[in-house]
């Protein structure tokens, strides 16, 4: 197979585009996809201060580098979730990458700042780990961006992630979630603007981009992901994609272009009902926000919890 652009031998084929690329043209293709996503959805404006949430994985480190290559002065944010040795190692990858480029990295440790970690929080709140984790990350990312004066929070959600989330939301016809599922969520009182510049790139493309540009990322998966609903949706979509390449992108972009608008009102209504949390000030539909509730349950008597134990409990 030859490179679509320069006819040199291809090192990767992207079946969705029915094209092969050499290393140089492939990294250019990745940049181009991010540039187009930013432009199509009017994600970042001149002078915006951008904070990229990095986990040490391929998507977030790839995103940070792609944004910098496109000329954005993006800084990194690493949140230590306290998920055993996995978190220690992911932090090392994020730190090493930031140091190598001398790009600023903001660090927040959940346990130090909020008094609990994800295994402990999940157990105390009797939530599945990914639910406690997702809730905590959303809160801490938003809070870190606002309190440090950033205009934009960028996350490394890629095409596969977004298509899997969409499938989950469609299977339950969750109108509020569908209305919030968009590559850009505008700023609102208490909310920083959130963007997902990787929506046009698949997981495999991100991995190839990192390998070809020498980004050292954590390959190990989070040990708490086992049984995560989204992994199941990803597998299902991969099976469909295998049979008819391009379906995943058609599913996601069809929704963004033609479906999202129909649910935007449901999300807007939900936002109108929000008021400041009586404890932290973050927007919430109730008196106390879900993060503060989780925090107060989890930060109660500190018994160290092992990652394996939470799994055993959730599976039981
Ligand atoms: S870090 Fe957190 Fe993920 Fe681990 S506990 Fe689940 S949500 S899988 S992206
Ligand atoms: Zn709160």
Residues of the chain with pLDDT under 70: 300-316
Nearest residue (CA) to ligand 1, atom 1? 222
Distance 282 CA to ligand 2 centre (A): 5
Strands of 193-195's sheet in order across: 105-109, 75-80, 50-53, 152-154, 193-195, 184-185
Name the closest ligand to CA 83: 1
Q: What does DSSP assign to residue 221?
A: P
- Centre a 10 Å sphere on the Cβ of residue 198 and count the other Cβ atoms it contains: 30
Q: Is 70 in the pocket of ligand 1 (CB under 6 A)?
A: no
- Rounded distance, CA 147 to CA 141, Å? 10
CA 129 to ligand 1: nearest atom:
5
Percentage of the chain exceeding pLDDT 70 = 95
Distance 222 CA to ligand 1 centre (A): 6
- Centre a 10 Å sphere on the Cβ of residue 12 and count the other Cβ atoms it contains: 21
CB of 111 closer than 8 Å to CB of 296: no
- Rounded distance, CA 64 to CA 294, Å? 30
Q: pLDDT tens across 87-141, in order?
A: 999 999 999 999 999 999 999 999 999 999 999 999 988 889 999 999 999 999 9
Q: Is 134 in the pocket of ligand 1 (CB under 6 A)?
A: yes
Please give the pLDDT value at position 226: 84
Q: pLDDT tens across 208-220, in order?
A: 999 999 999 999 9
């Amino acid at each position: 197979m030859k490179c679509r652009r320069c006819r040199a031998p291809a090192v990767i084929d992207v079946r969705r585009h029915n094209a092969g690329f050499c290393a140089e043209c492939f990294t250019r293709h990745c940049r181009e996809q991010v540039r187009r996503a930013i432009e199509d959805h009017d994600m970042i404006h001149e002078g915006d201060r951008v904070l990229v949430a990095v986990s040490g994985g391929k998507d977030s480190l790839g995103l940070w580098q792609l944004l910098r290559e496109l000329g954005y002065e993006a800084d990194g944010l690493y949140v230590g979730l306290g998920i055993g040795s996995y978190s220690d190692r992911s932090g090392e990858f994020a730190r090493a990458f930031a140091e190598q480029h001398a790009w600023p990295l903001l660090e927040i440790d959940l346990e130090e700042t909020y008094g609990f970690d994800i295994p402990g929080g999940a157990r105390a709140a009797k939530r599945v780990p990914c639910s406690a984790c997702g809730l905590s990350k959303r809160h801490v990312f938003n809070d870190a961006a606002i309190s440090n004066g950033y205009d934009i929070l960028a996350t490394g959600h890629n095409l596969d992630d977004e298509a899997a989330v969409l499938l989950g939301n469609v299977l339950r016809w969750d109108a509020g979630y569908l209305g919030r599922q968009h590559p850009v969520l505008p700023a609102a009182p208490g909310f920083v603007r959130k963007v997902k510049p990787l929506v046009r790139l698949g997981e495999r493309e991100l991995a190839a981009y990192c390998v070809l540009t020498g980004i050292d990322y954590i390959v190990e998966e989070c040990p708490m992901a086992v049984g995560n609903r989204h992994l199941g949706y990803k597998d299902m979509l991969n099976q469909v994609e295998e049979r008819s390449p391009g379906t995943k992108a058609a599913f996601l972009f069809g929704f963004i272009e033609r479906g999202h608008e129909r649910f935007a009102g449901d999300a807007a209504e939900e936002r109108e009902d929000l008021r400041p949390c009586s404890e932290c000030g973050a927007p919430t539909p109730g008196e106390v926000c879900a993060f503060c509730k989780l925090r107060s349950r989890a930060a109660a008597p500190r018994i160290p919890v092992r990652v394996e134990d939470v799994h055993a409990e959730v599976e039981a």
